[in-house]
A and B are shown apart, each in its own frame.
Chain A
Amino acid sequence: MADLQKENLLLEVLKNHFNDKIFDLKVQRHQRVHLRTTTEQIEAVLLYLKEKLGYKHLSHISCVDWIEENRFELVYILWHPEDKINVLVKVDVDRLNPVAPNIDYIWPQANTYEREMREMFGIQFPGLVGRKELILEDWDDLPPMRRDFDTLQYVMENFEFRSGREDAQNVRETIAKRTGEEIPEFAKKYSR
């Protein structure tokens, strides 16, 4: 598609300004730029993008739970209304002690995103105001969007399904039973 001049220029500018404080800079495609920074630097990066470079619109703040790598990844997605570029600024937050800076003084709507993350992932944002309960009510389990929260198990413990369906059979097992086939234990994980 179009050439990536503007995107590359942005990377250039950012690199010059922040040097090694930002890393993993990458032009994913036309209109998409990724970069990564640290929790200490995130406010400076966002402010710089907003005030100096004109990334005035905060589209989204997302959070991904990389439980295997023991981190939460916060993704701030900014939009430049004139240059028409989405910048995805990523920050890793320690999963055991999840604290990230509150940025709702930069964008007011960040308040909601952060409250949701506080509720759904248990990430703390010092200085964040607003009701503790945004979406859930009287929730006393793990923050539900964490990977280690098993929703099906929760459902089994708290709700009941309608009875009458217990006679369902697994086709594979039914056939195996009928033919006397013994599926070895180590193979069972490949059964469906």
Chain B
Amino acid sequence: MREPAAGYSEEFEVNMGPQHPSTHGVLRLLLRMDGEIIKNAEPHVGYLHRAIEKICENRTYPQCIPLLDRFEYVTSMSTEEVFCLAAERIAAIEVPERAEYLRIIMLELDRIASHLIFLGTFSLDLGAITPFLYCIRERETIMDLFEMTCGQRLTYNYIRVGGVSQDIPEQFLPLARKFVDTFQHRVDDYEALLTENPIFLARTKNVGIVNKQVCLDYGASGPVLRAAGVEWDLRRDDPYSIYDRFKFEIPTGTVGDVWDRYMVRVRELRQSNEIVRQALDQLPTGDIKAKMKPLFKPPVGEVYARIENSRGEMGCHIISDGSTKPYRLKLRGGSFCHTQLIPEVAPGIMIADLVAMFASLDVILPEVDR
């Protein structure tokens, strides 16, 4: 990067956010800049702090789930899953087969929907407006699938402790299969527009490099960690649910620049699509919820369950004191650590690169502020 002239150049401070179009959600980046080059960036968060953990201490287990949908509203299915996983581990509940498969289908569709949101807003931040519309068109089909089964498009409240709340209607399977078959060509369209495009490559190659050491230091996870070359995916390395029955690879990048993070997520789109296809093929019949008393009262216990959602490791630490309400509920989202590493990576790059780098981290602010 060219060093600015040695002569005295007075730095000035610019506030990027909180109402800035490119900060996803409400984040304020205080940038001290010397012309176009950023001297240091300091994230200010807390605009979306709703004290979910404090509220959940006074709610029964089923009542916590609608609140957790709002913890991370782009992949709320994964928040419900990690909460129910933790509760099931404490109460040692065995989830029936069909419910596990339904959960996997919903989780992977949720991951696809979240990656589509990433792809859309990421290309929007780089100036390509059209891919955003194409991604949202695909996401609509997934939203219809969700609305058909659980009734809501964003805050699903679908997964229950011990299984799922409702079975899928008849028209779900044909529509899901049609989506899975046509989705590959759609991803080819996005790649045709972006991946090899010289302008896109110029904006993303060797830009905003988050190398392996920074990732490990700051606890980055998910696509950000895999783009840095570390093959770490909780679905395989800390197996939960029935992911061991599906064949899927873990895409990894090499350098950990913006292009790698983009490429890892695009390949994950295809992998998730394959998982949904395999799950649809092997969907057994049977019960959708474990036999248990209507009032869920887990024994005393403490567990930290974690799953691989589209933003990285989604963790949920529950301490139950035997009552119907969790004694303590701590949520950990991937974006919390990704926002934390911005001051480490931001100095020395230009403002346009900072926007690209921040968009490629796929940070969602409610997950940071809780």
Do A and B bind?
Answer: no
